[in-house]
Amino acid sequence: MSRARKPANPFRYFHSSPEVIPLVVMMYIRYPLSLRNVDDLLFESGIDICHEGYG
């Protein structure tokens, strides 16, 4: 009998919390905001993220 494989985490390569990523994507798509605007809004809410790439 084979075991069912657990689906891979789609956020495994990101350096942010998995709860924050969908919020950022929703804000970026839903409202006419730049990534810097989204970054500023989240920072005002107490969430500090970096939208720049790693290495």
Residue ranges per structural domain of the chain: 15-47
Q: What is the pLDDT of residue 47?
A: 80
Residues ≥6 apart with Cβ < 8 Å to 20: 42, 47, 49
Confidence of residue 52 (pLDDT cuts 50, 70, 90): low
Read off the pLDDT of residues 3-48 as tens digits, 9 standing for 90 and up.
778 877 777 777 667 777 788 788 888 988 887 888 888 888 888 7
Q: For residue 8, with 0-12 CB atoms within 10 Å meaning exposed, 13-18 middle and 19 or more buried, which class applies?
A: exposed
Whether pLDDT at 51 is above 70: no
